[in-house]
Amino acid sequence: MMGTAFPSWSYLPSDQGQSLFKQAAPYIQASDIRFGNFEGTFFEGTEQQDGKATGANRYLFKTPTYYTDRLVDAGFNVMSVANNHSRDFGLSGLATTKAALIMAGIQYASKEGDVAYFTVRNLKIALLAVDYKSGPRNINYPQSIYKEIQKLKTKNHIVIVSVHAGAEGNQATHTPMLQEIFLGEKRGNSVEFARTAVDFGADALLIHGPHVPRGMEIYRDRIILYSLGNFATGKGINIGGVAGLAPLAQLKLNSKGEFQKGRIVSFVQNRERGTVLDSGGRAFEVIKNLSLQDFPASSPVFGINGEFSY
């Protein structure tokens, strides 16, 4: 969520977001699949009757459509639009979001069934996205998702799954091995879902939703990232403590989808300067420690400078 024009345009970055990814762009562009979760909408209309209902903890995110230029300049080539803010402005907001991404040349995966496809060095790669909200691709009712993963694997060398799940906030850094409840909603059992998804053919799980970093593990030679936190957020969003850390994961898989090695590049969110490099490597240290605590038997092997391997 690069900034929101709701409830006021003053919530947008002062430089129209041009500094948001300036330091991160070279690291994003170094990969073949350059993925992010777009938490909000590209929308310039008003509140919609079928949008997010009024009540406590109601946040609506709409970003001007020209902000897709920021994603293009950064190097992103695929976004997930399966999350709890994709319908903040109803079906109209979701439709304009998808249209804006298409116009920008960025693929997307959605809750509604859209899958992003890539061919990299003759390898076919599919990326699908799921969340915990009602409707299709709901991880609380995962059997149909597992079947879809299994089917995709028969036609693709590598299947990547984006998952929006989990409790939120600075107190949610540990990954529980149970159903998470937050704000009265079932936010999914991320561990059970991720491991079973691998059993059915998934090769990498990219989980977001907690808005803070969590640990990672290797399961059956496949990498599972339980949360990379936020990477670029606008005014009005808490960036204090671990919520302000912005890890960028670089992953290398072989032709079978097996994890080979990776790196966490540590950034931190800055209100005025965008997402900037953190020489202290705090995001990496947090993820390393959480991985070792929460997944002692399946954690990657951690090295220096953000590196980790099998």
Give Cβ neighbours of residue 134 (< 8 Å, ≥ 6 apart): none
Does the pLDDT at position 268 exceed 80? Answer: yes
pLDDT, tens digit (0-9, with 9 covering 90-100), for 1-39: 899 999 888 899 989 999 999 999 999 999 999 999 999
- Which class for 112: exposed (0-12), middle (13-18), buried (19 or more C-beta within 10 A)? middle
Among the ranges given (47-56, 74-83, 124-133, 196-205), the one the predictor scored with the smallest mean pLDDT: 47-56
Does the pLDDT at position 175 exceed 80? Answer: yes
CB 91 within 8 A of CB 112: no
For residues 300-307, average pLDDT: 98
Cis previous bond, 142, omega within 30: no
Half-sphere exposure in the Cβ direction for 303 (13 Å, CA): 10
Q: How far apart are CA 227 and CA 210, in angstroms?
A: 7
The pLDDT of residue 272 is: 83
Grade residue 61 by pLDDT with cuts at 50, 70 and 90: very high
Helices (H), 156-224: 190-199
| Total residue count of the chain as it appears in this document | 310
CB 214 within 8 A of CB 174: yes
The letter for the amino acid at 192 is: E
- Pairing outcome for strands 35-37 and 78-80: parallel
Structural domains in the chain plus CATH codes? 9-309 (3.60.21)
Does the pLDDT at position 50 exceed 80? Answer: no
CA–CA distances in Å: residue 248 to residues 24, 36, 182, 263, 278: 8, 10, 26, 8, 11
The three-class DSSP label of residue 130 is strand
Classify the C-alpha dihedral 42-21-31-227 as positive or negative. negative
pLDDT, tens digit (0-9, with 9 covering 90-100), for 212-224: 999 999 999 999 9
Characterise 152 by phi-psi region: left (phi > 0), alpha (psi -120 to 50), beta (else): alpha
Give Cβ neighbours of residue 238 (< 8 Å, ≥ 6 apart): 169, 170
The pLDDT of residue 1 is: 85
The pLDDT of residue 236 is: 80
What percent of the chain has a predicted confidence (pLDDT) above 90? 90
CB 17 within 8 A of CB 271: no
Grade residue 51 by pLDDT with cuts at 50, 70 and 90: confident
Half-sphere exposure in the Cβ direction for 307 (13 Å, CA): 6
Q: What is the mean pLDDT of the chain?
A: 96
The pLDDT of residue 185 is: 95
Does the pLDDT at position 172 exceed 80? Answer: yes
Does the pLDDT at position 56 exceed 80? Answer: no
Q: How far apart are CA 80 and CA 164, in angstroms?
A: 9
The pLDDT of residue 57 is: 74
The pLDDT of residue 148 is: 99
Q: How far is CA 280 from the centre of its chain?
A: 23
Longest CA span, the chain: 51
The pLDDT of residue 7 is: 85
For residues 52-59, average pLDDT: 77
pLDDT, tens digit (0-9, with 9 covering 90-100), for 110-155: 999 999 999 999 999 999 999 999 999 999 999 999 999 999 999 9
CB 250 within 8 A of CB 262: yes
Grade residue 47 by pLDDT with cuts at 50, 70 and 90: confident
Grade residue 271 by pLDDT with cuts at 50, 70 and 90: confident
Among the ranges given (55-59, 62-66, 87-91, 183-187), the one the predictor scored with the smallest mean pLDDT: 55-59
What percent of the chain has a predicted confidence (pLDDT) above 70? 100
pTM metric for this prediction: 0.96
Angle at 125 between CA 145 and CA 43, to 5 degrees: 70
